């Protein structure tokens, strides 16, 4: 699971608002330039971002292995036909490019999550959306980023327990049922404990968040984001 990794890279030292802006600019550019030539240029940029953020590509892709089959299946399903020639490559080009755009956005998001603390992300969101709406959205993002790794660990422990009890000998349907039921039970149990913990800590609408301060390092990041938006518009 992708989580924050402490470090001292250039991307770690950037203001979270600048990183959010660049991330949004990459999304705009990805959906504006859908040709292979445009995606090649965007790929080079994404690889540069991952390198600057010390984000391992293979480990990041493994974290999304549950979603990758859907990205691969989309062009295959679109290009398949019920009769000869059974597969039309031209029909699969557009969904393949769309799947590749999603993959690039996932890598950029991974670089952001690995270099930004949860509290900093919440502070940036509440700065962008003042008022109750920003507080709710910021708290929701913080809760999700903290809660998902725990759920993944629960599922991993459930699968390990099943393997230790020869669960692999059961049918696929039975294994899915056991993992699903046990996983949901743990989700609800953690949600109850999470709600109790919030009450015990007097969860409020005005939490003390870390101060956000832009430095000279953010100027190039903002300029890159503006360049991406201009490239998308033109």
Where the chain has pLDDT below 50, the residues are: none
pLDDT at res. 50:
92
pLDDT of res. 48: 93
Residues 77-116: tens digit of each pLDDT: 888 887 777 788 888 888 888 888 989 998 998 898 889 8
pLDDT at residue 47, as a whole number: 93
Residue 51 pLDDT? 93
Question: Which two structure tokens, joined as six digits, stand for 41?
Answer: 């240029």
Q: Which two tokens stand for residue 116?
A: 């930004």
Residue 231: its pLDDT value, please? 86
- pLDDT value of residue 204: 62
The pLDDT of residue 1: 55
- What confidence tens digit (pLDDT) does each residue in 183-196 have? 788 878 877 777 77
Domain layout of the chain by residue ranges:
16-117+212-233, 125-200
Query: What was the pLDDT predicted at 202?
Result: 67
CA distance linking residue 206 with residue 22, whole number of Å: 28
What pTM value is reported for the model?
A: 0.74
Question: What per-residue confidence (pLDDT) applies to 206?
Answer: 63
Backbone angles phi, psi at 208, to 5 degrees: -85, 110
Respond yes or no on whether the N-terminal peptide bond of residue 214 is cis (omega within 30° of 0): no
């Amino acid at each position: 699971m992708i989580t924050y990794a402490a470090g001292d890279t250039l991307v770690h030292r950037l203001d979270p608002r600048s990183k959010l802006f660049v991330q949004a600019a990459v999304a705009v550019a990805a959906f504006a330039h859908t040709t292979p030539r445009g995606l090649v240029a965007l790929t080079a940029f994404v690889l540069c971002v991952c390198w600057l953020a010390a984000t391992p590509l293979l480990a990041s892709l493994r974290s999304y292995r549950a979603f990758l089959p859907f990205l691969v299946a989309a062009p295959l399903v679109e290009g398949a036909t019920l009769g000869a020639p059974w597969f039309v490559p031209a029909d699969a080009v557009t969904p393949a490019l769309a799947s590749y755009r999603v993959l690039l956005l996932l890598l950029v998001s991974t670089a952001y999550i690995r270099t930004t603390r949860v509290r900093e992300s919440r502070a940036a969101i509440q700065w962008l959306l003042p008022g109750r709406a920003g507080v709710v959205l910021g708290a929701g993002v913080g809760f999700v980023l903290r809660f998902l790794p725990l759920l993944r660990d629960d599922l991993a422990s459930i699968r390990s327990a099943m393997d230790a009890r020869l669960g692999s000998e059961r049918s696929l349907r039975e294994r899915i049922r056991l993992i699903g039921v046990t996983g949901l039970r743990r989700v609800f149990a953690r949600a109850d404990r999470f709600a109790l913990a919030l009450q015990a800590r007097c969860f409020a609408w005005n939490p003390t968040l870390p101060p956000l301060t832009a430095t000279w390092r953010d100027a190039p990041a903002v300029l890159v984001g503006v360049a991406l938006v201009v490239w998308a518009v033109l």
